[in-house]
Structure 1
Amino acid sequence: MSTTLILIIITCAVSITAFSNHSQWDKMSMQPYMVKRHNQWYRFITAGFLHGDYGHLFFNMLTLYFFGKNTEFLLYALTGTKLGYVLFYLLGIIAGNIPAYFKHQNDSNYVAIGASGAVSAVLFSNILMAPWEKIYLYFAIGIPAVVYAILFLIYSSYMSKKGMDNIGHDAHIWGAIFGFVAPIFLRPELLQMFIQSVVSFGR
């Protein structure tokens, strides 16, 4: 069984049980105020295994299912161990929660949940490796991954500034940045390969 599938199963199990268990949800969700006041740093990770509803859970896990295996192969190639992918995924969750911590550490009512940071990290590691592959995530007609990445970051940045919904757009942005940068940190020549692929239109 792939590591991606194991992560999906664990996330679904934890999220679904938390739907009807408020105590579990309260203990695991990202609450910056509680992190700062009570040193509950574990919330940076546990919040990534909770979701607001079935739709939120389904979309994140569907995206992870389609793109996770490629990231598994990439991280295994870069680290030589399957744990490299697990660590990458968990760090993606953490990266996505960092902005919320600094923005809301004095707000006792703020709560954040979801695997969006990690899923964005997985997606953008795919974009790094294959910038001209078509992505069909939101569109009936596929668009090049590098174009999707630009639109994704522009939209997420705009919505983050507007603050018109309850979606953690900052988590999307910082998870995406982490997912793009982390493989380059492990193997710097990946950046040159990405640039060459972009300017040559994948040829």
Structure 2
Amino acid sequence: MLSITPTVRNLLILNVLFYLVDTSIINLSGNFALRSLLSPEFMPYQFVTYMFLHGSLGHLFSNMFGLFMFGPLLERMWGPKKFLFFYFFTGIGAGLLFSGIDYFENNQIRQAVEIFTQNPTPDALADFMSKHAKGIYESMLNFLNKFEENPTNTTYIQDSINFVNIYYERLVSIPMVGASGAIFGILMAFGLLFPNTELFLLFVPFPIKAKYFVAFYGLYELYSGFKNAQSDNVAHFAHIGGMLFAYILLRYWGTQRTNFY
């Protein structure tokens, strides 16, 4: 069995240490998680720092397991410096793609909030909910019914305005954390460089070639990202971003003879 490589080992240690500090000593996520570009708490350095923070022990374990399983082979092939560059390139790229899509989606909601505030009617609130807040539509039905029965009631009007504003502020305040973007980049690289390597996965009773596993996983993340399930709490477009930036970098390296891998 091959020993773990130095860069992978250091990344594992850093991620575990940051998790322990964040959960036991001082809240690092408040300042170092990746915030929405529309949030007043956004800072450019968060494109790097978010990769070393995780939301739960299970989140940390799944990412570090992927790094442990697939990272050492890539580091042995590329060397420590090139592997570390790849890790940050894909991780930052994942954050950029996620932030771009997040900005587009939340900016649409911000515009919808402004439109509703100018004309706060029951029908307008129902339209806002059906388009932008489907996950909590049912929980608001009681309020919607009362608002429809009393459309000129100033209390209901103000409450509806407060609701859409609070809903928007909550969305732009949700931070993103985790090394998943970089890990999916590593997974993509493994699939491209070792496409016919057979993987034995939990809950799959037969071996699957790396190229098929990566292709399936990428399509699944793409589907989940566009489906935009609000309840799964997973940054699917960050995963897609890690894979996309890994593909771009590998294609670029493939054209550079001095960087042949």
8 Å Cα contact 2:188/2:214 also seen in 1: yes
Alpha-carbon shift at residue 95 of structure 1 (Å): 1.1
The answer to whether residue 175 in structure 2 is matched with residue 111 in structure 1 is yes
Q: Hey, what does 2:218 align to over in structure 1? A: 153
Q: Which residue pairs with 1:69 in the alignment?
A: 72
Are residue 84 (structure 1) and residue 82 (structure 2) matched? yes
Structure 1 Cα separation of the partners of residues 206 and 59 of structure 2? 23
The sequence identity of aligned pairs, in percent, is: 26
Name the SS for the 2:31 alignment partner. helix
Question: Structure 1, residues 61-83: CA drift from partner, whole Å, max 9, x if none?
Answer: 0110010011112322xxxxx22
Q: Deviations over 1:124-166 (max 9, x none)?
A: 1111111011123443432111111111111101111112211
Which of the pair has more CA radius of gyration?
A: 2
Structure scoring higher RCO (CA < 8 A, sep ≥ 6) equals 2
CA distance in 1, matches of 2:249, 2:98: 21
**Within 2, Cα distance between the matches of 1:142 and 1:19?**
37
Are 2:29 and 1:31 equivalent residues in the alignment?
Answer: no
Query: Contact 1:25–1:50 (CA<8 Å) still a contact in 2?
Result: yes
- Can you give the 5+ residue segments of structure 1 that lack an aligned partner in the other structure? 77-81, 191-203
- Give the length in aligned residue pairs: 184
CA-based RMSD = 2.2
**2:35, 2:41 within 8 Å by CA — same for their partners in 1?**
no
Measured after TM superposition, the shift of residue 188 of structure 1 is: 2.6
1:51-99: per-residue Cα shift (whole Å, max 9, x none)? Answer: 11010100110110010011112322xxxxx222111111111111112
Report the CA distance between 1:172 and its aligned residue.
Answer: 1.0
TM-score, with length taken from structure 2: 0.65
Instruction: Determine if the alignment matches structure 1 residue 142 to structure 2 residue 207.
Output: yes
TM-score (norm 1): 0.82
Distance 2:78 2:53 in 1: 24
Residues 1:16 and 2:8 aligned together = no
2:192 partner SS: helix
The letter of the residue matching 1:23 is N
Q: Tell me the SS of whatever aligns to 1:30.
A: coil
